[in-house]
Chains A and B, each alone.
Chain A
Amino acid sequence: MIGKQVSSLAEAINGIHSGATVLVGGFGDAGTPVALLEALLEDDIRELTIVANNAGSGNRGLESLLREDRVRKVICSFPRSKGSVWFERRYLANEVELEIVPQGTLTERIRAAGAGIGGFFTSTGVGTELASGRETRIIDGREYLFETPLFGDVALIKAHRADRWGNLAYHASGRNYGPTMAAAAQLTVVQVDEIVPLGSIDPENVVTPGVLIDRVVKVEAGKT
């Protein structure tokens, strides 16, 4: 019998080790698996490489990991966020490395990893300093940059609803990176608002199929 659900946050993050590359879902606070990120603080996990849209948003989640000096490198598209101060402090003190990636290239690199694609050409970034020293190709008269897949050891995402197979339905724009990141890591952990009986999510409404999910943990409302 397949049972992806685990009963605690500690169990959900079990095995995540120092030095891991962690894909973290969310755009601002929407879809950010705050409880899973905060759970990482309970273990002595350090030197993380974080792949996310933002480098913290508000005062929880990634912001907590940066404050507690658990992050070695951030790969993200938009590290400036209202109310977040720790990325800036760590970055200006050379305590955290930044790889800045255009947002569409970031999500497509993660998608490529999860889809078994060895890279892709995009015109995003052509003519900018991001293109310097990069492999380029002219295709049908247009210039493109080559981009490589971006894998995670772990993906931490948030969804609204899951069943015991790990089928997921999301809420509003909280979906964002979840479906893409779920496919691109060795271990994918999802925090959800509710776990429902198998079959009760209409197959037409399953956005991420359970085949991509390893662990599901329910987080009570208000503790996200």
Chain B
Amino acid sequence: MSRHAAGPSESPLQNVVGRRTSRELAARLANDIPDGWFVNIGIGKPTIIADVVEPEREIVFHSENGIIGVGHFAEGSAQDDDLINASKEPILIVSGAAFVNHSDSFALIRGGHLDLAVMGAFQVAENGDFANWSIPGEKIPAIGGAMDLAVGAKRTWIMMDLFDRAGVSKLCERCTYPLTARGAVERVYTELAIFEISTIGFVVRELVEGLNLEELQRYVPVEIRLEDSHLI
């Protein structure tokens, strides 16, 4: 879909065979979410997840603007100006959906009632810190619901391009941009690899086809490790 184009052209490792598009990555992430979870999908790529999830799955998607039960993107005459997701894209709701006001929506978030929040990021550090609201001197700051979600949801997974527009790795030893939250991130889903953050830092759970660890490590300035074989 044109509104979620692939990553920036300056990115390293453009030609890796198994490199995932945003929709492929969203579908891959959805496969890791257990049925029955209530999951917030944040602005940007994560909002694609509700559009690609397999129809037989029963995952309930929450949007910070008071929707519990986000469905597919709405097209054409099915669009309703008052029915949008966190990215302000028109959506449908699923059977069983509910609307709540903003204060109640964030009570759900802060109160620990969501199993998972999926967000984008500018930087993710090996200690689980992440930054996604301000790049001083470059962008107008914009927090949205990110800080509430990072402290409130039971888990935080990041879904992002591995490299920024200049081709610099977003995985880092320590964040240099202003933090969204400390130590919140458990997993990072990117177009080239999926990482878990453990007490020893970034552990690779999955590399896409055509990519090996040594090649990836060349472009990532913080140590990334393969899972211990007994954990695979």
Q: Is A174 located at the chain interface by the 8 A CB criterion?
A: yes
Stretch of B19-27, B52-60, B75-83 with 4 or more beta carbons under 8 angstroms from chain A: B75-83
Contact residue among A30, A88, A171 (Cβ-Cβ distance under 8 Å from B84):
A30
CB pair A180 B148 closer than 8 Å: no
Q: Is B185 an interface residue (CB 8 A)?
A: no
Which B residues are in CB contact (< 8 Å) with A30?
Answer: 65, 81-84, 88
Q: Which of A29, A98, A108, A178 contacts B88 (CB 8 A)?
A: A29
Point out the residues of chain B lying under 8 angstroms from A81, CB to CB.
88
User: CB of B67 within 8 A of chain A?
Assistant: yes
How many residues on B have C-beta within 8 angstroms of the other chain's C-beta atoms? 39
Whole-angstrom distance between the alpha carbons of A110 and B102 in the complex?
11
In the complex, what residues of A have CB within 8 A of residue B99's CB? Answer: 170, 172-173, 175
Whether the Cβ atoms of A173 and B151 lie closer than 8 Å is no
Q: Which residues of chain A (72-109) have a CB below 8 Å from chain B?
A: 77-82, 87-88, 91, 98, 100-105, 107-108
Contact B83 A108 (CB under 8 A): no
Task: Select from chain B the residue with minimum beta-carbon distance to A144.
Answer: B151
Task: Tell me the residues in window 167-186 of chain A with beta carbons closer than 8 Å to chain B beta carbons.
Answer: 170-180
Whether B83 lies near A180 (C-beta < 8 A) is no
Q: Indicate if the CB atoms of A111 and B103 lie closer than 8 Å.
A: yes
The CA of A108 and the CA of B84, in the complex, are separated in Å by 22
Cβ proximity bits B72-108 to A, threshold 8 Å, 1 near / 0 not: 0000000011111000100001000001111101100
User: Are B180 and A124 within 8 A (Cβ)?
Assistant: no
User: Is A3 located at the chain interface by the 8 A CB criterion?
Assistant: no
Q: Please list the residues of chain A having a beta carbon within 8 angstroms of any beta carbon in chain B.
A: 27-31, 53, 57, 77-82, 87-88, 91, 98, 100-105, 107-108, 110-111, 122-130, 170-180, 207, 224
Offer 8 A-B interface pairs, CB within 8 angstroms, sorted by A.
Answer: A27-B65, A30-B83, A77-B143, A102-B148, A107-B106, A122-B110, A126-B151, A127-B179
